[in-house]
Amino acid sequence: MWPSENCPPVAPHEAAALRHIRFRPTRLGLGLAVMVGLLWLVGLNYQANLAYIAAFWLFGFIIAAVMQNLRQLTGLRLEWTMPSEIFAGQPAAFTLNAAGNTRRRHLRLVHNHQENWQQWPLSDGMDSLPQTLTAPMRGYLRLPEIRIATAAPFGICTAEAAWTWHSDKIVFPAPIAHDAPPGFHADESRETQAVFAQSSDDLSHLQAHQDGTSLQHIAWKAYAKTGEMLDKRFESVEQNRGSHIISYRDYPPDSSTDQLAGRLCFRILEAERCGLRYELELPSQTVAPQKGQREMALTALALW
């Protein structure tokens, strides 16, 4: 606790302590301190006991006011409630919570080093404050530093502390709307799926044997296991019409990574909206159709 600006910020999941708090007197506090000094001098020069009593009373009041002011911040623990998805450049609704607060506090807060302070009165049962934040870039979320100050209850001094957080929340790329390219690998994807269906001996890709079926189309492995003659089932291109590859190779090679991520993000969201089957292809990673594919694909783009 010092009147300097070198106080360490409050770490995540940590409560504010005296070592985190910077305090400074207000004009009212300075005026009262000067008055205490003058009353002391009057009592000293004129041997006026009443002046001594007033000086000591006023000094005690200042000390009590400073302690009450510091108590507004000590023990304060802040936590963020985040939205399920965050896209770069788009406002997102967050909630700042005073975890476990049981005191009545009169606080002001500001993000980073801005000057537009926001009032935040706290009381038991009312310990949250909605905040709208915009993540400037994709990747891991960078939460702003929060500075909280208070001059309550008497306005004699101002106590201030800063909070910082490290988040593992992922910010998805900002989708860039555009006309999607035809996708020169779409046919390649369908062929691969058709070959898989033809060569698989999984029972889900087999059908009852029909006379006249070519010997190479009979599932001999399944026959050896079950003793039942089955034929391999061919999947036509028509059955896979909705599946396609969303690839970075669909765009000019001189496109920036951020542009590619934004365009691929847009195509993924469109495919999800239309219920299409898709596969995301990146230089060092491929996200195939699977459970949770949407989040996996968007996360891959965010960390690309």
Q: Measure the CA–CA gap between 230 and 289, rounded to whole angstroms.
A: 28
Q: Pick from 175, 150, 115: which is nearest to 21 by CA?
A: 150
DSSP annotation of 169: P
Amino acid of residue 141: L
Mark whether 67 and 206 lie in a shared domain: no
Mark whether 139 and 209 lie in a shared domain: no
b/e map 19-56, b = 16+ CB within 10 Å? ebbbbebeeebeebeeebeebbebbeeeeeeebeebbe
Confirm whether 26 is domain-assigned: yes
Confirm whether 177 is domain-assigned: no
The tens digit of pLDDT for each residue in 28-60 reads: 999 999 999 999 999 999 888 999 999 999 999
Count how many domains the chain has.
2
The tens digit of pLDDT for each residue in 55-82 reads: 999 999 999 999 999 999 999 999 999 9
Burial class (CB in 10 A: 0-12, 13-18, 19+), 177: exposed
Mark whether 59 and 86 lie in a shared domain: yes
Confirm whether 179 is domain-assigned: no
Mark whether 147 and 229 lie in a shared domain: no
pLDDT at 267 (0 to 100): 95
Mark whether 78 and 218 lie in a shared domain: no
Confirm whether 176 is domain-assigned: no
Confirm whether 101 is domain-assigned: yes
pLDDT at 233 (0 to 100): 63
Mark whether 160 and 11 lie in a shared domain: yes
pLDDT at 192 (0 to 100): 42
The tens digit of pLDDT for each residue in 114-170 reads: 888 999 999 876 789 999 999 999 999 999 999 999 999 999 999 999 999 999 999
Of 127, 146, 170, the position where a domain reaches its end is 170
Mark whether 4 and 141 lie in a shared domain: yes
pLDDT at 212 (0 to 100): 62
pLDDT at 218 (0 to 100): 73
Place of tokens 């009262």: 32
- Give me the domain span that covers residue 204: 186-302
Mark whether 155 and 197 lie in a shared domain: no
Q: Pick from 16, 6, 3: which is nearest to 148 by CA?
A: 16
pLDDT at 118 (0 to 100): 92
pLDDT at 188 (0 to 100): 47
Q: Measure the CA–CA gap between 94 and 106, rounded to whole angstroms.
A: 21
CB-CB contact of 86 with 171 (8 Å): yes
183 has pLDDT over 80: no
Mark whether 31 and 125 lie in a shared domain: yes
Mark whether 205 and 246 lie in a shared domain: yes
Q: Measure the CA–CA gap between 134 and 150, rounded to whole angstroms.
A: 26
pLDDT at 236 (0 to 100): 44
What distance separates the 2 farthest-apart alpha carbons in the chain? 126
The tens digit of pLDDT for each residue in 237-292 reads: 444 444 678 999 999 989 999 999 999 999 999 999 998 999 999 998 999 999 99
Strands 78-81 and 91-98: antiparallel
Confirm whether 120 is domain-assigned: yes
Which residues are within 8 A (CB) of 289 and not within 5 positions of it... i.e. 6 or more apart?
Answer: 243, 277, 278, 279
Helices 293-302 and 257-274: crossing angle, nearest 10°? Answer: 170
pLDDT at 240 (0 to 100): 45
pLDDT at 189 (0 to 100): 44
Higher pLDDT, 193 or 230: 230
- Per DSSP, the three-state class of 193 is helix
Q: Pick from 158, 166, 165: which is nearest to 73 by CA?
A: 158
Confirm whether 222 is domain-assigned: yes
Per the omega criterion (within 30 degrees of 0), is the bond before 173 cis?
Answer: no
